[in-house]
Amino acid sequence: MDKAKASERATSRRITGNIFKGSVGNLIEWYDWYVYAAFAVYFSAEFFPSGDPTSRLLNTAAIFAVGFLMRPIGSLLLGRYADRHGRRAALTLSITVMAAGSLIIACTPGFETIGVWAPIILVAARLIQGLSLGGEYGTSATYLSEMASTGRRGFYSSFQYVTLIAGQLVALGVQIVLQQILSDSDMKSWGWRIPFVLGAIFALTVLWLRRTMDESEQFTQLSQESSAQAGTIRILLQHPKAVMTVVGLTLGGTVAFYTYTTYMQKFMVNTVGINKETVSWINFFALLAFVVLQPVAGALSDRIGRRPLLLGFGILGTLLTVPLFMLMQGMKNPVGAFLLMMVGLVIVSGYTSINAIVKAELFPTEIRALGVGLPYALTVAIFGGTAEFIALGLKSIGLETVFYYYVAACIAVSLISYWRMGESSKTSHIESELRNSKHDGGAPVLEDTPAR
């Protein structure tokens, strides 16, 4: 009995250690991605010197959206790589590429120094980062889902969005610290480069951690024949229902997520009229609470299922998005703005906390990273990456309120998918493969023996 308990504790420590190593890398990837959005209000004039504040932000938002166009390519390349060569190898490669993108942005001179080359290089760097992030999502979701223990996969996989949001939180934290140290003019002239340098340094540090991760047992159990065919579009097309489910699952969720996080900061400054420093604090504390919500909702999904949480997000998001933004538009009180933002984030948690595990449960091991990543990345590129650009574009022509209805409509489309889909935890490919492995006398699974 003592040996069994000791083995169980060792297994739990190993799972926790691998989840931590995978998650902290994910955090840095998303920090590098979000620091662009967090500091756009400062460096937009550096790359686009002419025009009013809205048009400058519109230009930087367009480049933010362009970065999303590379995510499907990244998910295709790195998802295929992860399904063929392992999750650990793909995650290590993605963090290296992200570090390169951050360093390029940090070192790029402004428009006054090199002219039109400044925005061109900025676009190139964001394309590199988009490539990295496209591969990171599907591989990270797959790794966390496979490494988690049975009955706690919702809880453990929720840490993908814990670290995703934490990356944005760290970016905001760096912004707040710099705002206290540097003047507004210093922030606009050179201070905005500091967070990109930090991102590159953090990413290189994470390389060591990712190189010491265990590979998931499910990947190592793939037969040689399955490994040779893994990660191909041909295999992915054999799962059309799962692919369309990922698209439907993601559409409303990604629009809502980027609206309530990335765009909300600019909305409070540019539309509501709250000063930048106060908005940074509002976003910081709101996202901190949002982080805490993720494992709570993930653990709840292990008890009641994934579908009820998705339905809750779909129904509340469809009905309350427009009223929330109408109220926020006239909310000058920072506390009131914080509370309204939190209502939106609580609703979005029904999607963010469990979307990784739901997608991973839809696909078999040999196509899981590509299956999770590619349809997700395509949907995010089309809808999530353009949310801020659409919002600012509508504002520039005096139709900002149309954007509120657009977000609600996207969530309503996803609600139809949630209503039609089954309970993924009951039809999970991850669990069925584990049961088959035990039944067939295959290699022991992670819960019982150390990963190879």
Q: Which residues of 237-260 are buried (b: 16+ CB within 10 A; e: fewer)?
A: eebeebbebbbbbbbbbbbbbbbb
pLDDT of residue 3: 66
| Residue for token pair 């698209």 | 247
Which residue has better confidence, 107 or 57?
A: 107
User: How do residues 190-225 score in pLDDT, each as one tens digit?
Assistant: 899 999 999 988 888 888 888 888 888 778 877 555
Handedness of CA 314, 317, 319, 322 (dihedral sign): negative
pLDDT value at residue 6: 64
Q: Which of 268, 249, 196 is nearest to 31 (CA)?
A: 196
pLDDT digits 0-9 by tens, 318-357: 999 999 999 999 888 999 999 999 999 999 999 999 998 9
Q: How confident is the model at residue 449 (pLDDT cuts 50, 70, 90)?
A: very low
Assign residue 184 the CATH number of its domain: 1.20.1250.20
In a domain, 451, yes or no: no
pTM of the model as a whole: 0.81
99 vs 358: CA distance, rounded Å: 29
Percent of residues, the chain, with pLDDT higher than 70: 89
Tell me the pLDDT tens digit for each residue of 62-80. 776 677 778 899 999 999 9
Closest by Cα among 157, 87, 132 to 352: 157
- Asked if the structure places residue 220 within a domain, the reply is no
What is the extent of the structural domain holding 98? Answer: 19-215+229-433
Task: Please state the separation of Cα 131 from the chain's center in Å.
Answer: 14
Quick check: is 426 in a domain? yes
Return the HEC string of the chain.
CHHHHHHHHHHHHHHHHHHHHHHHHHHHHHHHHHHHHHHHHHHHHHHCCCCCHHHHHHHHHHHHHHHHHCHHHHHHHHHHHHHHHCHHHHHHHHHHHHHHHHHHHHHCCCHHHHCCHHHHHHHHHHHHHHHHHHHHHHHHHHHHHHHCCCCCHHHHHCHHHHHHHHHHHHHHHHHHHHHHHCCHHHHHHHHCHHHHHHHHHHHHHHHHHHHCCCCCHHHHCCCHHHHHHCCCHHHHCCCHHHHHHHHHHHHHHHHHHHHHHHHHHHHHHHHHCCCHHHHHHHHHHHHHHHHHHHHHHHHHHHHHCCHHHHHHHHHHHHHHHHHHHHHHHCCCCHHHHHHHHHHHHHHHHHHHCCHHHHHHCCCCHHHHHHHHHHHHHHHHHHHHCCHHHHHHHHHHCCCHHHHHHHHHHHHHHHHHHHHHCCCHHHCCHHHHHHHHHHHCCCCCCCCCCCCC
Q: What are phi and psi of 441, to 5 degrees?
A: 75, 25
Identify whether 301 is part of a domain: yes
In a domain, 233, yes or no: yes
- Say if residue 446's pLDDT is above 80: no
Give 257-290 pLDDT, tens digit per residue. Answer: 999 988 888 899 888 888 888 888 898 899 899 9
Looking at residue 114, its amino acid is: I
pLDDT band (50, 70, 90) for residue 413: very high
What's the CA gap between 103 and 199, in Å, rounded?
8
CB burial of 125-149 (b: ≥16 within 10 Å; e: otherwise) equals bbbbbbbbbbbbbbbbbbbbbbbbe
| Number of domains composing the chain | 1
Reference 261, options 382, 141, 322, 342; nearest CA is: 342
Distance CA 79, CA 327 (A): 42
Q: Does residue 223 form part of some domain?
A: no
Q: Is residue 68 part of a domain?
A: yes
